[in-house]
Amino acid sequence: MKNKRKIICWAVLGALLLCAAVVLALTRGRDPEPAISPNAPASAPKEPADPTALPVETSRPPESTAPTEMPSTGRPAASTDPEPSGETTIAPEKTEPPQATTAPTSPIEVPPETEPTGGASSISLPYEIPDTGLVVAKVAAYDGIFLEDGSNEEITGVAAMVLTNTADTAVEFAGITLTAGTETWEFRASAIPAGATVVVQEANRTHFRETAYGDCKADVATLPELEMSSDQVEVTEHGGNSLTVTNLTGASIPVVRVFYKYYLEDMDAYVGGIAYTAKVENLEAGASVQITPTHYASGSSRVVMVRTYDGQ
């Protein structure tokens, strides 16, 4: 009886061991579940929908798309780019109503006295330019609007020259160069009455800096006076930035040109070397025409010269 029980126990134990072996074999035959690595994506990255929006490679920085040079600021159109007075001072050729004119309001900023850099000056201010009657009273920084090319763009710290015509004759045009340290500053002015003062901005918008002045020269064209053609034409301010031009003669005048400049009462000076012009064509005998010249500001502009022409 005991032997029979032992046989049964051994049989049961053998069956259990066989089952365990089968389970172990099945378990070893399966691959384990992969763990989600913090450094790997849970799923493969998707292809970008837009092929132009591919990510930038991280092996090198993206190439810069910024321009390697400052963009050129081209000169304005001829209608707003006045030149020296006379036949070459013509700026705006048309008299259609322009956008609202902003007169200059910021006077020249006079810097505190400091010791100039760049060595001793060959000239000192005020300085009379030889054989011209022009006196450079001072050179300083100017904040306000840029007038010399008709753009009226805001500027800060641009060099400006306070220039007085001490001669008995008018200046039709003056081109002035001033050696400032290692730089050459250029100033251009037109239609300056005798005895008048004008604030001229540096033509290339060069910023003012304290430095020694080495030389100052000028090419000047003069007139006995700035004609007003008062026996032929009358020009009156009409208000609202406009002028009325009247033909006083008994014949048609082919062309009338009106020259004007900005003027600041508190400085008793013209502002901007430039002289703007407005053109009237075929003004009939005794007729009047109202014009709204570009850059003319009632109360802040003055007519300095009026010329009539037989042709264009």
CATH code where residue 305 lies: 2.60.40
Q: Decide which of 161, 196, 223 is a domain's last residue.
A: 223
> Could you give the CA distance from residue 279 to residue 245 in angstroms, rounded to a whole number?
10
Q: Has residue 32 been placed in a domain? A: no
- Tell me, what's the pLDDT at 73? 35
pLDDT tens per residue across span 255-290: 999 999 999 999 999 999 999 999 999 999 999 999
pLDDT tens per residue across span 47-59: 334 333 333 333 3
228 — pLDDT class (breaks 50, 70, 90): very high
- Whether residues 175 and 117 fall in one domain: yes
State the DSSP H helix or E strand holding residue 28, giving kind and residue range, or none if neither. helix 2-28
What residues does 237 pair with on adjacent strands? 243
Q: Has residue 260 been placed in a domain? A: yes
Q: Has residue 55 been placed in a domain? A: no
- Whether residues 118 and 189 fall in one domain: yes
Residues 6+ apart with CB under 8 A from 225: 169, 170, 193, 194
Q: Has residue 40 been placed in a domain? A: no
- Whether residues 196 and 295 fall in one domain: no
- Whether residues 110 and 218 fall in one domain: yes
Q: Has residue 77 been placed in a domain? A: no
Q: Decide which of 196, 223, 250 is a domain's last residue.
A: 223
pLDDT tens per residue across span 115-150: 444 555 689 999 999 999 999 999 999 999 999 999
Q: Decide which of 162, 197, 223 is a domain's last residue.
A: 223
Give SS3 for 78.
helix
Instruction: Look over the chain and give the mean of its residue pLDDT values, rounded to a whole number.
Output: 76
**Burial group, residue 213, by CB count within 10 angstroms (0-12, 13-18, 19+):** buried
- Whether residues 247 and 184 fall in one domain: no
Beta carbons of 75 and 150 less than 8 angstroms apart: no
Domain that holds residue 159: 105-223
Handedness of CA 279, 280, 286, 288 (dihedral sign): negative
- Whether residues 196 and 259 fall in one domain: no
- Tell me, what's the pLDDT at 62? 37
Residues 6+ apart with CB under 8 A from 215: 122, 123, 177, 178, 179
- Whether residues 187 and 244 fall in one domain: no
Q: Has residue 116 been placed in a domain? A: yes
Q: Has residue 29 been placed in a domain? A: no
Q: Has residue 239 been placed in a domain? A: yes
- Whether residues 118 and 215 fall in one domain: yes
- Whether residues 301 and 211 fall in one domain: no
**Burial group, residue 167, by CB count within 10 angstroms (0-12, 13-18, 19+):** middle
- Whether residues 205 and 144 fall in one domain: yes
> Could you give the CA distance from residue 156 to residue 159 in angstroms, rounded to a whole number?
9
- Tell me, what's the pLDDT at 30? 44
Distances (CA, A) of 218 to 214, 221, 259: 14, 10, 23
**Quick one: tokens of 224?**
């006995």
**The total number of structural domains that make up the chain:** 2
DSSP string over 163-205: EEE-SSSEEEEEEEEEEETTEEEEEEEEEE-TT-EEEEE-TT-
Beta carbons of 261 and 199 less than 8 angstroms apart: no
Higher pLDDT, 262 or 311: 262
- Tell me, what's the pLDDT at 234? 98
> Could you give the CA distance from residue 207 to residue 155 in angstroms, rounded to a whole number?
10
> Could you give the CA distance from residue 97 to residue 58 in angstroms, rounded to a whole number?
57
- Whether residues 212 and 304 fall in one domain: no
- Whether residues 246 and 299 fall in one domain: yes
Which amino acid is located at 90 in the chain? I
Higher pLDDT, 186 or 238: 186
